[in-house]
Structure 1
Amino acid sequence: MFTPDASETPTPLNPDAGTPAAFTQAVESMHTAQLRDEITLGTIRPPQRLAPFSHAIGLEVERTWDEAETDGDAFGRLILLHDPGAEEAWEGAMRLVAYIQADMDHEVASDPLLPDVAWEWLTEGLAGTGAAHTNLGGTVTATASVRFGEIGGPPRAHQLEMRASWTASDLDLAPHVVAFSRVLANVAGLPPEGVSRLT
C-alpha cells in the first residue's frame, strides 16, 4: 500500500547538481494523466540510489463498501528513473519501473494463462495509449498461500504480482501512466469504463 504525499517533490541525489528541465517536465506530465474514477494517484517516496534522479507515484483501486466486502486490495507503483549516463544501456535517459500487486479470486488465479494475459494487458495498454517506448521487459507471478492458526484473513489467498520496466521515448509520460492504470484496473477486476457492475 502507499501513502500519497502531495508535498513531496523530486530531488536529485546530489542537490548541488540541480534538477534537469527534461526530468521536471517528465514528472509533471505523469500527474496530468486522466484516470478512471476508481483509481487514485498520489506521490510516494521513490527508491534511492537507483538513478541520479527519481520520482514515484502510487496508484490504488478505491472500492465501494459493498465491493470491499468481496474484493481484495490492488495497488501499483510506477517509478521514473532519469540517468543521462544510461542512455546507451536503456536506449534513452528515462526509465519507468512498474510494480503491481493484487488479490485475486481462486477461479482467476488458478488459470495457467493468467501471467500471459496480464502481460498482454500491459503491452496492449502501452500500444493503445500511444506510449512510445523501447526495451520492455518484466515478470508476472501468480501465487497462492494458505493461512493457519490465528492469522486473520481468508484461509486461502491468491495474488498476482507484475514487475516490468521500459524506456520512455519522449517526455510526455501521461500515456504511460494511463496504460499502467488500465493494467491495474484489469488485474483488480474492474468492469470496463462506463459499465456498471451488477450486484
Structure 2
Amino acid sequence: MPERFRTALLSLREVARPRGLILEEVPAPSRLAPYAAALTAETVQTEAGTPLASGRFVVLHDPATQRAWDGDFRLVVMVRARVDEAIGADPLLSAAAWSWLTDALEHAGAGRHALVGTVTRVLSDTFGGLELTDASAQVEIRSSWTPATPDLGPHLQAWYELIHLAAGHEPESAVPLGLAGATR
C-alpha cells in the first residue's frame, strides 16, 4: 500500500464519529483504481423500518494519476433519502440538494476541484396489491471530486453533514456530541 494512500486512510480515522449514523466499512469497487476503500452510513432514525437517509463514501487512489481526475485521488459519494412527496415534486429540489453538498464541503473546509455529479428525484406510486403502501419520493445525490490534499477528514465530515441534511436534520446533527459546544 502506498504511503500516500495509507496517510489518506488514517486521516479518515481521525474524524470523530457523528451522532445518529451507523457506519460500516464495506468492500470498495476494485476496477476503478489500484487502491480503494469504502464506507456506508445510514441514519439511526427510521421511518417504517427504513433509514431516513443512507449513503456511500468511496476513496479511490491511483499513484500514476488519472487524467480525468486531475490528481491521484478521487472521492465518490452517494446519498439517498426519502422525502415528502410534495418536496419530491418540487422542481427546485435538485438545485437545493446540490447546494446541500457544496455547502457541506465549504462548511467542512474540504478543498477540492473537478467536482461533478447528479441529483435524481424519484416519485413512486403503487398499484394493485401494493396499494397499501403510500406513494413515496426519494432524492439521490451522486458526486465525485478530487481532494486538494490527502487529508480526507474534512471530506468525510462533509459527507456526514450531507446525510443529515438529506434526512431533514440540521447541519449541527453531524457534529459529534463531544464537539457540540466547541467551535471549529
Q: TM > 0.5 between the two? A: yes
> Partner residue of 2:145?
166
| Alignment match, 2:102 | 123
Partner AA of 2:91 in structure 1: P
Alignment pair present for 1:28 and 2:28: no
Cα separation, partners in 2 of 1:146 and 1:170, compared to 1, 3 Å: same
Matches within 5 A, 1:58-137: 58-63=40-45, 68-69=47-48, 73-137=52-116
Map 1:119-158; keep pairs closer than 5 Å: 119-151=98-130, 154-158=133-137
Distance 1:126 1:192 in 2: 12
Q: Percent identity?
A: 36
**Counterpart amino acid of residue 27 in structure 2:** R
1-structure distance, mates of 2:115, 2:34: 21
Unmatched 5+ residue regions in structure 1? 1-18, 195-199
Structure 1 residue runs of 4+, over 6 Å off?
none
- Quote the residue 2:24 is aligned against: 42
Total equivalences in the alignment: 173
The whole-number CA distance in structure 2 between the counterparts of 1:166 and 1:192 is 21
2 CA distance for matches of 1:153 and 1:37?
Answer: 33
Partner AA of 2:23 in structure 1: L
Q: Which piece of structure 1 moves more, 177-186 or 86-95? A: 86-95
Give, in whole Å, the separation in 1 of the partners of 2:172 and 2:115.
Answer: 26
- Which amino acid in structure 1 is aligned with residue 44 of structure 2? E
* Partner SS, residue 193 of structure 1: helix
Tell me, in whole angstroms, the C-alpha distance in 1 between the residues paired with 2:51 and 2:4: 38
2:155 to 137, 161, 176: 176
Deviation at 1:157, TM superposition (A): 1.2
Residue type at the aligned position of 1:24: R
Read off the aligned partner of 2:104 and give its amino acid letter: G
Cα RMSD for the two superposed structures: 2.0
Shift of 1:136: 0.2
Structure 2 residue matching 1:90: 3-state secondary structure? coil
In 1: Cα distance, 2:167 partner to 2:132 partner:
18
| More strand per residue | 2
